[in-house]
Structure 1
Amino acid sequence: MDTSLTLGVLGGMGPAATLDFLTKLQQFTPAQTDQDHLRVLVDINPKVPDRNASSADAGPVLAEMAGALAGAGADVLAIACNTAHAHADLIQRASGLPLVDMIETGARAARETGALRVGVLGTKGGIRLYREYLAAQAMGLVMLTPIRQEAFMATLYRIKAGEVGRDVQREMQGFADDLAADGAEALIAGCTEVPLVLDPDARKLDFIDPGELLARRCVAVCLGLEPLPAMPG
């Protein structure tokens, strides 16, 4: 009898990053047949308001998505977007379901590297979330200068528009190099588009891909190899 849990995924922020997450989820699932894979319910909704423009507008939409996934049979949720985790509590309250938290997963992996200063490539909202989790584990956060952060966001939107060629890859590597030069000992891809263009062979720091780690955790939770996350109090 199959006892695996059904995973609900809030996606579409952006669509390419969600597909990357689903690919990793499939790759990390120990399966010999189709039936061994997880049942995954996915809402790829690129109509979610831009989390970087007016974060508050995204909350009710994400809550509605989460409730629909619960109604469709999901047992546990994941969000394929770092910045959207600002609404994690609302999403869990609306759905009544636990959430495998990407931010917590990434910060915990950073701690396991032994780094004391961690660079984060992400949106301002994503960086705020990671700052809180890293500080709770006595780690400092290294971020881009305001001018370079603005340039990072321009690159990010180019990736969302489908640009993943050498120019964009070079720009992303430049941002990673900036953080290393400023004292980062490990690097968190704090936006799900970052791993789409950052060359694995060019990384100078311990690299943490929270999306990849989230996929691994979701498999473990759904197969009963890791307990369900606790609901917010």
Structure 2
Amino acid sequence: MIGVLGGMGPMATIDFLQRLIDLTNGRSDQEHVPTLVCSLPQIPDRSSYIVAKGEDPYPLLLDAINRLISGGAESIVIPCCTAHHWYDMLVDNSSIPIFHVAIEIAEYLKAKNIQKVGLIATEGTYKSNYFKRILKQYGIEVTYPNNLDIQMIMAGIRQIKHGSLNLGAKNLLRVMNHKNYSEIQKWILGCTELPLALRSFNQELLSGCVDSNEILARACFEYWENKASK
């Protein structure tokens, strides 16, 4: 059973589960991936803590991990990119494996021979820098937007979290379509709520992006499929 540490935010968690269902394409209930979901929207804002030292999310993240383990989870996925700032600490205190979004995305990009990507993410994820660090190990160059564009991205993320998907998508597109980033092959949607906005605005926009929720769902499905076949 796969444990899902969600609620960051709730829409992203539902989107992740829908992706997992769509990938399974089961003909009966029994063919779908068994999951145990711990959705905790009350976990303090991850980006705020990383950037400005607000309330530390780690204690509640670890508590959720322990709840999932106690409930019978055999591996854990976290459909929130910024929360991966605490990945190493969580792994050190977990008795079961945890998927890492950047590693899964790096494997995907390597298989597609994509070497130059841009990252659309929260301020916390940029500051954490784990995407650059991990993708560099795979020979993949990651471009960050400039500071003004990062503020525009953050405005878009806040709009998406407030339910204004189209307004949020427009802010993201102002950055993604800027001529400064014309050499980028793909944009990593490094916040799991961003695909919701772009898909709502125009489904075709996702063809130029790497959807972190889609990648995590695919990794979970393949893990379960391999486990079920043994």
1:131 alignment partner in structure 2: 132
Shift of 1:33: 1.1
CA contact (8 A) 1:192 1:211 kept: yes
CA contact (8 A) 1:172 1:197 kept: no
1:193 alignment partner in structure 2: 193
TM-score (norm 1): 0.87
1:73 aligns with 2:36: no
Aligned ranges for residues 1-233 of structure 1 at < 5 Å?
6-55=1-50, 57-127=56-126, 128-165=129-166, 167-178=167-178, 181-198=181-198, 199-202=202-205, 206-224=208-226
Deviations 1:76-119 (A, max 9, x none): 10001011111112222333110122111112222333233210
Shift of 1:158: 1.1
Instruction: Work out the number of aligned pairs and report it.
Output: 220
Rounded Cα–Cα distance in structure 2 between residues aligned with 1:24 and 1:217: 11
Instruction: Please tell me the residue identity of whatever aligns with 1:41.
Output: L
Rounded Cα–Cα distance in structure 2 between residues aligned with 1:116 and 1:216: 21
More helix by share: 2
SS in structure 2 of the partner of residue 92 of structure 1: helix
1:3 alignment partner in structure 2: none
Rounded Cα–Cα distance in structure 1 between residues aligned with 2:182 and 2:142: 11
Rounded Cα–Cα distance in structure 2 between residues aligned with 1:32 and 1:134: 37
Shift of 1:179: 7.3
Unmatched segments (≥5 aa) in structure 1: 1-5, 228-233
Please give the root-mean-square deviation of Cα atoms over the aligned residues, in Å. 2.1
CA contact (8 A) 1:113 1:186 kept: no
Unmatched segments (≥5 aa) in structure 2: none
CA contact (8 A) 1:121 1:190 kept: yes
